[in-house]
Each structure stands twice: as structure tokens, then as C-alpha cells.
Chain A
Amino acid sequence: MTKQEFFAGVFIMLVGVAAVVYSLFKLNMGNLATPGPGMLPFLSGLGIVVLTLLWLGANLKNITKGEPLWGNSEWVNPVILVILTIVYTALLEYAGYIISTMLFVFGWQIVIEHRKIASSLLIAGVCTAGLYLVFVTLLRVPLPAGILRF
């Protein structure tokens, strides 16, 4: 077990503890004959606690430093994607599907792929048009029109 796995185990165990506490104090557990809404959350929380304790306990003596989860700036692109997706989601209903999708694909090309502006614009345009054709024209999925009104 690596150090990172150990901390993940502790975190998951705390989630289990929180579920047990919430079920005991906020939900009605009922009894075995008529189980209440708290019974299954309690059991699943308990299951998490017991199993993580077993797992952590069995490997406590074998904790190694392990490889770092992210090597040489491997985390950068995933983080950029998270930010791009948040911006896309925030814009979707106001700016509409076409503008937000174009901005998202354009942003991906510029920030993640480091492509030139002209080719990024072209890829963003073609991608957006293709997806619009499939989803809106062919499959008739209702997507937010936003300021463009279509």
C-alpha cells in the first residue's frame, strides 16, 4: 500500500463514519421487521468503515512512499480541462450551445494543444457544426439557444 492509498483509505473511512452518524441521528432506522429509511445507509456506512479498517489494518506495516500520483506536470492538462468545463457549464444557458461549445473547443486547442489561432478556430467551428448537426438537426435534442436564439 502506498502512502497516497493510505490517506485515501482514511478519507473513505471518514465518509463511512459520517454516513453512520447521519443515519443514526438524522434518519429513522426502524427495526428488523420494519426497516426504516436509515437502515441501508447505516449498513453501507458501516460496511465502508469495517472494510477500510480491515484494508488499512492488513497493510499498515507495508506502507511505502510509492510513486507520486502525478509525475512531471501531468496534472496540468486535467486541471485546465476542469476549468474549461466549469466555464462551459456556466456559459451554456446564457450564451447558448453554439457559442459555449465553440469557446470550449477553441480553448482546448489553444491552452491544452498549443495550436495556432487560425487552426484552432477552424477545428472549433467544424466540431461545433458537426455536433449541432447530429444533436439538434438529426436527433432533435433541445439545447439552449442563448443569445443567438437558435
Chain B
Amino acid sequence: MEIFEGLLGGFALALTAHNLLFVFLGSLIGTAVGVLPGLGPAATISLLIPIAYTIGSPATSIMFLAGVFYGAMYGGSTTSILLRLPGEAASVVTCIDGYEMAKKGRAGSALAISAVGSFVAGTIGVLGLTFLAPLLSDLALRFGPPEFFTLMLMGLLLAIFLTGENPLKGAIMLFVGVLLANVGIDPITGVARFTFGIIHLRDGFDFVVLAMGLFGLSEIFLTLEKQFSTEFITKKIGKMLPTKKEWIDSSWAIVRGSLIGFFIGIIPGGGAVIASLTSYAVEKKFSKNPEEFGKGAIAGVAGPESANNGAASSSFIPLLTLGIPGNAAIAIIFAALMVQGVTPGPLLIVDHPDVFWGVIASMYIGGVMLLILNLPLVGLWIQLLKVPFYILGPAILMITAVGCYSLRNSVYDLYLLLIFGVMGYVLRKLNFETGPLLMAFILAPLMENALRQSLLISSGNIAIFFTRPISGILILVFVVVILSRVLKSFKNFKKGSKVGGEL
């Protein structure tokens, strides 16, 4: 009953004209970001944070930023299908069969099924969020500092071991993130760390500047290296209404994709990319005609597109209930909440029910908006690709610069932005993932606090992390996952060492 009351309150808030406008704007910007190759949701959310501060209450800001996040998942399919150009990473797999369908004049069907699948999966994800999140919040209320420390550490390490191509490099980035977070005054003792007498460094680095540099500016550097032109490979969209056979072929794929996405999205590091890849593999296995995959099988579009949207919705569950961001984009939303004085976690539902239920309700509304934005307006989104980079590039950079400057009205932050941008650019050129760095940077102060409190409680006995049931189980789960991954890596390494494999 409490859930329905909460949800009703959330709808009352989300349906106000002001909030509706920002849910719409978030979905609109998200779709545009999904359509445009290069700028991903994490980069965009970081660029929009300074704007999000100015638009109203924390609930409105997060509704807006969440709209950008799940909107990008919708938009990503459009260019994958029509141009074989994935707008964002989770839509890579859609290129395979989506583009083949487009070549056969069935682009309209692929787009329609993809939009419907995304809507169904998004709705299933939000339904899961609605009913599962309060239960998880209740459970998490029993957590003390040791459980939170273990949970955050395990979440971060799992994110690295499950997503990264090279877990060791990801783990190195994680520690670099923690180190960067240590710069500034220690909040407990007041001692300055790594400031070297520079007054500006006493406040530490702002996560917005770091995120904008690592994701936004570095992306512009990379794009400038290879300025690409978008050729209109597919000009004809065809009929938007799928045939009866196409509906039948894709309906179970949508259901399976939604469920796969939902469960993978809950796991830290699971995310939309893994969800869409898993769904594609599952659909191929379930199909009566697996040989059609790669040649325009509609299930190869329906499953992955549903999965990435399901994962996008369910990745809000660990954020809102445990305060654990599962990927870089969610980590930035996490930090945006913190800056507004709202701590994501089990107490969110009690302390800030407007944020908790408002965001959930806005996701139902956003789903409907996105369906409308993506189906009838598909032609408009394709036109967006015609905006040349010589206009888009400087505009994005100037938006980043203004956002960055407005944080503290200081050009010092602009220099930092440039430093982090170059750092992100070089790291990405060297195939280091910057996501774990940012996630660790955001979580490090909370982790340090939980670690210190735990050690104070136990009088310095680190057994506290292993002997308490919840943290003990978390560590056990983590060890099992890591061991299986390490064993697999060593097997691959042994196999690959003869041909230059890397650990």
C-alpha cells in the first residue's frame, strides 16, 4: 500500500508542468545524444550538471538527468539501424541485423520494433524498480559502516571485473580515482593532503570538472583526430508498421531481452552493453533459424534493444536503494544528488520521498514520451546528423566551459578541465577505461568514512568485515566471481601467450 501511495505522490510531482517540461527536455537531449555518434550519456550528463543545478529542486534535476540517460538508450538504435553507426556503445549489436533489415527496405519495421521493445523493457524495468526498490531499501537499513564499505568496494571491483576488457588496468584506474579524491583537506582531521601549498587545491577537485574533462573534453579531442562525415547509407525508411510475422518473431525476444536487461542492470558493472550482447547471444540460441542472424533477423534487433533499455531502468535500483552506482553515467547522477544535499541510499525513500518516487514516476512518463519522440519523429533525428562538427564541436566545448566556470566562478576550474581532458584523452588512447576512475573518485570519500568508522567500532580489528553476516556474504560472493574471472583470464592468457595474449 505504501508503494502505491508513494508512487501516486511521485506522479503528482512528476506531472507538474515544470517537471514535465524537464522530463521532456531530458528525454529529448538523451535521444539526440543517442543519435549522435561520439558523445555518450556519461559525457552529456556531466556537461549538463551545472545546468541541472539551476533548474529547480533536486527531484527536478534528477528527473532531467535520468531522462538523458534512458533517452540515449532509445536514440542509439536509430543510427545503428539506418546508418550502421552506433550512437552509443549499447547499440553496437543492433547494427548487425538492424542495418541488414534496413538494406532490405525494412528499416521502418526495425525502428518500430526497437522503439516498442525499448518501451516494454523500460516499463518492466521501472515496474521492477517500483516494487523491488522499497524492499531493498528496507534491507539496506540494517547496514552499518562495515557493510557499506564492503558493498561499495565490492561494487566497484565487480564493475571492473565484469565490464573491462582488462580488469587489471581497470583496477589501476580505480586506485588512481581514489588517490585523486584524496587531494584537499581531510574532512575528519582538517589536514591538507597533496595540496603542495596551492590554495585552490585545498577544496579538492570537483567531480563535475573531472567528469567533464575525462568524458566530454577527451571525446572532442578524439573526434578532432578523425573528423568523420556522415554518409546517408540508408535513405528509405519504409513502412513503420511491422508485419504480423515480425510481431510474432519479436514478441518473445522483447520479453526475454527485457528480463535479461533487468537482471543484468542491477549488478554493478552489468550495464546496458553487456545486457544487449547477452540478449543477442540468447536470441540466436533460442531461434529456430539461427542462420538468419546477421542477415536481418528481427529478433536480433528486438532482444538487444529491449535489453539495453531494461538495464538502463534497473541500474537505478542499486543507486536509489543502496547508494551504489553501477556504471559511470549513474555515478555522475549519484554525484549530482550528493551535490544537491541528497544522499542516495536506503534512507533516500524516507528522507527524500519526493526524489525517490518522483524519479520513478518520471521514468514511466519519460518512457511514453520517448515512444512518441522516436517513432513519428525518426526523420527529424536523422536530420540531426547533418549538423556539422564545426558547429557542434565548439558549441559543446563552450557549453562545457560555461558549465565548468559557473561552478565556482573561477578560471582555475577551466585549467583543471583542460588538464583532466588531456589526461582522459591520453588514457583512452592507451586503452585505459576512465569509468572506474570516476566511479572511485565519487565513492572514495564515502568509502573512507565507512572504513574509518568500521575500524573505530572494531578497535582496529579488520575481521569486522568478514565476521558480520552481510559483509561476510558480500565478500564471499565477490571472491567467487573474481576467482572464476581470474581462472578464465589465466586460461585465455596461457592460450594467447603463444600468439601475444595479454593479461
Q: Are B390 and A135 in contact (CB under 8 A)?
A: no
Q: How many residues of A contact B (CB 8 A)?
A: 70
Chain B interface mostly: helix
Give chain A interface residues in 86-115, CB to chain B under 8 Å: 86, 88-90, 92-93, 97, 101, 104-105, 108-109, 112-113, 115
Query: Bound state CA distance, A75 and B429, in angstroms?
Result: 11
> Are B460 and A33 within 8 A (Cβ)?
yes
Contact of B175 among A48, A82, A85, A108 (CB under 8 A): A48
Q: Report the nearest A residue to B166, measured CB to CB.
A: A55
Report yes or no: A89 in contact with B395, Cβ–Cβ below 8 A. no
Which of B182, B227, B397, B425 has a CB less than 8 Å from the CB of A41? B182
Q: A1-60: which residues lie under 8 A (CB-CB) from chain B?
A: 1, 4-5, 8-9, 12, 15-16, 19, 22, 27-28, 31-41, 44-45, 47-48, 51-52, 54-55, 58-59
B175 close to A16 (CB less than 8 A): yes
Chain B 397-441 near chain A by CB (<8 Å), digits 1 or 0:
111011001100101001100100010011001111000000000
Q: Which 10 A-B pairs have the closest CB atoms?
A: A32-B460, A33-B460, A37-B186, A47-B175, A77-B224, A58-B503, A44-B178, A37-B191, A89-B414, A78-B221
Chain B residue at minimum C-beta to C-beta distance from A73: B225
Cross-chain contact of A27 among B51, B188, B193, B414 (Cβ < 8 A):
B193
A55 touches B178 (CB 8 A): no
Q: Which residues of B contact A12 (CB under 8 A)?
A: 172, 176
A64 adjacent to B500 (CB under 8 Å): yes
B451–A54 touching, CB < 8 Å = no
Chain A residues within 8 Å of B460, by CB? 31-34
Contact (Cβ within 8 A) A35 B418: no
Answer whether residue B493 sits at the interface, using C-beta atoms and an 8 A cutoff.
Answer: yes
**A127 CB within 8 Å of chain B:** yes
Q: Which among B179, B221, B501 is the interface contact of A44 at CB below 8 angstroms?
A: B179
Does B462 sit at the interface, judged by CB under 8 A? yes
Q: Does chain B have a CB within 8 A of A118? A: no
Bound-complex Cα distance A113 to B103 (A): 33
Please state if B175 and A41 are interface contacts (CB–CB under 8 Å): no
**Which of A5, A112, A127, A139 contacts B395, CB < 8 Å?**
A127
- B409: shortest Cβ distance to chain A, in Å? 7
Q: How far, in angstroms, from A121 to B67 measured CA to CA in the complex?
A: 35
* Complex contact B172–A51 (CB within 8 A): yes
Asked if residues B172 and A123 are in contact (CB atoms below 8 Å), the reply is: no
From residue A64, how far is it (CB to closest CB) to chain B in Å? 7
Closest to A40 in B: B448
Interface size, chain B (Cβ < 8 Å):
66
What are the residues of chain B within 8 A of A47 when measuring CB–CB? 171, 174-175, 178
A62 interface residue per 8 A CB criterion = yes
Q: Residues on B close to A: CB < 8 A?
A: 50-51, 54, 166, 168-169, 171-172, 174-176, 178-179, 182, 186, 188-189, 191, 193-194, 220-221, 224-227, 390-391, 393-395, 397-399, 401-402, 405-406, 409, 411, 414-415, 418, 422, 425-426, 429-432, 444, 448, 451-452, 455-456, 459-462, 493, 497, 500-503
> Shortest distance in angstroms between A113's beta carbon and chain B's nearest beta carbon?
5
20 pairs of residues in contact across A and B, judged by CB atoms under 8 Å:
A8-B426, A8-B430, A32-B460, A32-B461, A33-B459, A55-B166, A55-B168, A55-B172, A62-B497, A69-B429, A75-B225, A78-B425, A92-B405, A104-B394, A104-B397, A112-B224, A123-B390, A123-B394, A135-B406, A143-B406
Residue of B175, B176, B227 contacting most chain A CB atoms (<10 Å): B175
Q: How far is the CB of A41 from chain B (nearest CB, A)?
A: 5
Chain A nearest Cβ from B444, distance in angstroms: 7
Q: Which residues of A contact B395 (CB under 8 A)?
A: 127, 130-131
**A130: B residues at CB distance < 8 A:** 395
Contact A82 B188 (CB under 8 A): no
Known: A77-B225, A92-B414. A55 touches B169 (CB 8 A): yes
Identify 7 new A-B residue pairs, CB closer than 8 A, beyond the known A31-B460, A32-B460, A141-B50.
Answer: A19-B179, A48-B176, A61-B497, A89-B414, A127-B395, A131-B395, A139-B54
Are B226 and A123 in contact, with the CB atoms below 8 A?
no
Q: Which residues of B have CB within 8 Å of A45?
A: 175, 179
Cα–Cα, bound, A75→B402 (Å): 26
Chain B residues, Cβ within 8 Å of A70: 225, 429
A41 touches B179 (CB 8 A): yes
Cβ A113 vs Cβ B171 within 8 A = no
A141 touches B406 (CB 8 A): yes
What B residues does A109 contact at CB under 8 A? 390, 394
Asked if A27 and B191 sit within 8 Å, CB to CB, the answer is yes
Task: Report the minimal beta-carbon distance from A94 to chain B, rounded to whole angstroms.
Answer: 10
Expressed in whole angstroms, the minimum distance between the Cβ of B414 and any Cβ of chain A is: 4
Contact partner of B418 (CB less than 8 A), chosen from A38, A86, A123, is A86
Shortest CB distance A45–B (Å):
7
Q: Smallest CB–CB gap between A134 and chain B, Å? A: 8
Residues of B within 8 A of A31 (CB): 460
B contact residues around A61 at 8 Å (CB): 497
B493 contacts across to A, CB distance below 8 A: 58
